[in-house]
Amino acid sequence: MTPLRERFIEDMRLRGLAPTTQRSYIHYVAEFAKFYKISPEHLDLEAVRQFQLHLLEERKLSAESVNTYISAVQFLYLETLEMPWKKEDFVRTRKERKLPVVLAPDQVRRLFDFIPGVKNRMALMLCFGAGLRVAEAAAFKTANIDSARMLLRVQLGKGGKDRYTMLSPGLLEVLRLYFRVMRPTGDWLFPSWHPSRHISPGVLQRACREAWQLAGLPKRVTPHTLRHSFATCLLDSGVDTRVIQVLLGHSNIETTAHYTAVSPAKIASTASPAEQLLAGPWNKTQKQVARSRTA
C-alpha cells in the first residue's frame, strides 16, 4: 500500500465515512490513477475533468456513479492532499429526475408471498414497515427494538447518523413470532451463518429480486422500492412531510418532497385554487360558460 493510499484511507476513517463509501472512493481513485498510470498527486483538475468525460461518454456510467467518482477525487485533493482548490472546481454531472417506483398494497402482499426464507422476509419487512434502508435492516441490532415506546432505533444510518423510526403493533407482533421461530443469538437481529456477523445486504437484494420475478410484478422491485412505498403510504394517510423526513433520515426536506409526486391520493385530495374562484352559485365564470352554450 502506498503512503498516499494509506493516508487517504485514514482520512476517510477520521471523518467517519461509511465503510461502503470508503470502498467506493478507493475504487474510483484507483481507477483514476490506473487510467493515467501515475499517482493522483501529480495530476490536476483538467485530468479530473477528462476522466469524468471518459466515464460518461466511453464507459457509459450513470450520473450517480460519475458523481461518486467526483466525490472521491474531491475528498482526495481537498482533504488528503490539501490542494488550494474549491468544491466548485469539481463539477457534478446532472442527474435525471426520476420518480421513485412504489407498490400498491396488493402488490406488496404478492411480493412478500414469494420472498424466500423467514429471515429475508422479516428483514425486508423492516424496509417496508419502518422505512429502513437495506443496509440498515441487515445490520439491525436486537437491543434497538424499544417495544415500551414502540420505536426502532437505527444506528449509524446514512451519513453516520442515528435516528428513531416507528414500530407498529403489527410489526412488533411479527417480530415476536420471528424470535420464537428463529431464536437469533448475539447482537444481530438477522445474524449470518457466523453469529458474530449480520446478514449481507446483497442477500436481501437477491431475495427481493427473486420474489419480484416470481410474483410477476410489472415494476422492477428492490428493497429501496419498499422504503419508497413506506413513505408514500404515510403520505397518503396524511402524515406530515417533515415527520416522514425524520422517519426516513433525510437531511434535506426536498428529498422527502419527491414522494408527493408519486402519491395519487395526495394529488387527488389537494384542492385546486380554482375552487375559491368558482365558489358560490353562478359566479362570473359560470355565467360566461352558460351564455356561450346558449349563443
Answer left, alpha or beta for residue 276, where phi above 0 means left and psi between -120 and 50 means alpha. Answer: alpha
Q: Which residue has the cell 435516528?
A: 163
Alpha-carbon span 219 to 217, nearest angstrom:
6
pTM listed for this prediction: 0.65
What domains can you pick out in the chain, each with its CATH number? 3-89 (1.10.150.130), 105-268 (1.10.443.10)
Which pLDDT does position 123 carry in this prediction?
93
Active-site position among 49, 224, 258, 266: 224
Which pLDDT does position 114 carry in this prediction?
93
Mean pLDDT (whole number) for 77-91: 94
Q: Is 287 a catalytic residue?
A: no
Q: Is the pLDDT of residue 289 over 50?
A: no
Active-site position among 119, 121, 198, 227: 227
Which pLDDT does position 17 carry in this prediction?
86
* 8 Å CB contact between 194 and 185: no
Q: Is 227 a catalytic residue?
A: yes
Q: Is 224 a catalytic residue?
A: yes
Active-site position among 5, 49, 153, 158: 158
Mean pLDDT (whole number) for 238-262: 75
Q: Is the pLDDT of residue 2 over 80?
A: yes
Answer left, alpha or beta for residue 38, where phi above 0 means left and psi between -120 and 50 means alpha. Answer: beta
60: number of CA atoms within 13 Å, CB side? 0
* 8 Å CB contact between 12 and 75: yes
Q: Is 158 a catalytic residue?
A: yes
What are the backbone angles phi and psi of residue 165, rounded to the nearest 5°? -135, 175
Q: Which residue has the cell 406488496?
A: 108
Helix (H) or strand (E) holding 146: strand 145-146
Rg, the chain, Cα only: 25
Q: Residues 23, 24, 29, 35: is their CA dihedral positive or negative? A: positive
Q: Could you tell me how many residues make up the chain?
A: 295
Task: Express each pLDDT in 183-211 by its tens digit.
Answer: 888 899 999 988 789 999 999 999 999 99
Mean pLDDT (whole number) for 75-79: 96
Q: Enumerate the H helices of the chain as residue ranges.
A: 3-14, 19-36, 45-53, 63-75, 105-113, 118-130, 134-138, 169-182, 201-215, 223-236, 241-248, 253-257, 264-269, 274-277, 284-294
Task: Express each pLDDT in 175-188 by its tens digit.
Answer: 999 988 888 888 99
Which pLDDT does position 58 carry in this prediction?
93
Band the pLDDT of 267: cuts 50, 70, 90: low
Active-site position among 119, 121, 163, 250: 250
Task: Express each pLDDT in 153-165 by its tens digit.
Answer: 988 666 667 888 8
Alpha-carbon span 85 to 295, nearest angstrom:
71
Active-site position among 119, 133, 163, 228: 133
- The C-alpha cell that represents 284 in the structure block: 362570473
Which pLDDT does position 259 carry in this prediction?
65
Which pLDDT does position 156 carry in this prediction?
67
CA 142 from centroid of its chain's CA atoms: 22
Band the pLDDT of 19: cuts 50, 70, 90: confident
Q: Is 220 a catalytic residue?
A: no
Q: Is the pLDDT of residue 278 over 80?
A: no
Active-site position among 25, 28, 178, 259: 259
> Which range has the worst mean pLDDT, 52-56, 140-144, 251-255?
251-255
Q: Is the pLDDT of residue 23 over 80?
A: yes
Band the pLDDT of 285: cuts 50, 70, 90: very low
Which pLDDT does position 238 carry in this prediction?
80
